[in-house]
């Protein structure tokens, strides 16, 4: 599976990308949300892991933009906001495939991300 991680925290981006590669996936990362669409236009991708609180462009705004261009692409929101009901609702309404707290450990976050991506992929098959 080819995954894209979008987060302004470069250390976390590197860690998550390395962890996904360790788990056998092809993983890339971007820290600038303004280039995500052009990256997706030039690369195949099975799912995006997207930070909500990212500078230059709010993650939910980017989610809405991506959803209009790539309606079937699984996009999991990854955030340090925890399980904030209002934010989770905004993400669902905007078309998120899932919502994962950064407070989870790597294996729990990975499992949640894979569930969301797999569920979205099966639903669109």
pTM exceeds 0.75: yes
Tell whether the torsion through CA atoms of 82, 85, 90 and 96 is positive or negative: positive
Q: Is the pLDDT of residue 125 over 80?
A: no
CB 97 within 8 A of CB 78: no
- For 30-53, the pLDDT digits (tens) are 999 999 999 999 999 999 999 988
Say what the pLDDT of residue 102 is.
81
What percentage of the chain carries pLDDT values higher than 70? 94
The two tokens of residue 84 are 């904030």
Q: Could you tell me the domains of the chain? A: 2-123 (3.40.50.2300)
């Amino acid at each position: 599976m080819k995954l894209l991680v979008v987060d302004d925290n470069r250390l976390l981006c590197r860690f998550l990308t390395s962890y996904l590669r360790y788990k056998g996936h092809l993983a890339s990362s971007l820290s600038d949300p303004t280039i995500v669409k052009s990256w997706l236009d030039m690369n195949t991708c099975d799912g995006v892991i997207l930070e909500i609180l990212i500078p230059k462009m709010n993650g939910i705004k980017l989610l809405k933009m991506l959803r209009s261009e790539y309606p079937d692409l699984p996009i999991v929101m990854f955030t340090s906001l925890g399980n904030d009901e209002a934010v989770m609702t905004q993400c669902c309404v905007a078309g998120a495939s899932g919502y994962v707290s950064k407070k989870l450990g790597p294996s729990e976050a990975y499992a949640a991300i894979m569930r969301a991506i797999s569920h979205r992929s099966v639903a669109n098959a």
